[in-house]
Structure 1
């Protein structure tokens, strides 16, 4: 996927729909995470929150994506005071476009879920860098360095 696909998705805040055309020349960090209010996802969201001003200074918009409902996302954003928005992808259409749905082992069982992944797109929509199978410690700082480069 060398270029950001055109799509329309339900997002927290106003307007209630996100399209890549709305970026107006900003870089985009699209990060996919398994579930609101789980330990790793909470830590990752807080790290993006804590470095948000530096991402903005680098001309970057941050958007998180999971299969959770908009209602769940709104609660998650409020609780963590996230300054960026979250896309609800309950039918997995965006997850499938980005190839982040994987079979994972959880408590000894195989379950289908989102593989934590981050994509950095330039102002022209071209994919600059992708991270798949992300481990949270140190990840957000690495994304920031790439965004600033």
Structure 2
């Protein structure tokens, strides 16, 4: 996917907003897909993006998180954690499918469909410049920030 145009999409967002990818042209964007609100890895990942949010902003980059959770769940998670960025709800997996992040995963010995933790950097012109799939949380946000600073 790198160096391809990011697929345009519209999703409901926390803060009673609607997010449209096309509308943020002119700014870099990090989209991180995560499995589930209020789970340990997702909480840590969100907290890491929060810790470095001012650095992303200084680099001309915004951040959004996407999962299949409901807006109500997102609002609670965002409020509880104090995230400065919006969370987008994709319950029908439409955008997850566009970015190819739905995978079969093993959970307690059973195969379940879920989001593979993935991050995409989209540049000011709307092209995917970098992607990380199967993300391990420790150190990941710092790696993403280092890349964003090269744009």
TM-score for the superposition, normalised by structure 1: 0.97
Contact kept in structure 1, 2:25 and 2:125, CA below 8 Å: no
Which whole-Å deviations, capped at 9, do the CAs of 1:59-81 have from their partners, x for residues lacking one?
00100000000000000000000
TM-superposed deviation, 1:22:
2.0
Which whole-Å deviations, capped at 9, do the CAs of 1:56-108 have from their partners, x for residues lacking one?
00000100000000000000000000000000000000000000000000111
Unmatched tracts of structure 2, length 5 or more = none
Residues 58-69 of structure 1 mapped to structure 2, 5 A cutoff: 58-69=59-70
Contact kept in structure 1, 2:32 and 2:117, CA below 8 Å: yes
Question: Runs ≥4 in structure 1, deviation > 3 angstroms?
Answer: none
Contact kept in structure 1, 2:36 and 2:67, CA below 8 Å: yes
Distance 1:22 1:77 in 2: 22
Match of 1:7 among 2, 6, 9: 9
Q: Which residue of 2 aligns with 1:113?
A: 114
Please, what is the CA RMSD of the aligned residues?
Answer: 0.8
Q: Which residue of 1 aligns with 2:135?
A: 134
Q: Which residue of 1 aligns with 2:44?
A: 43
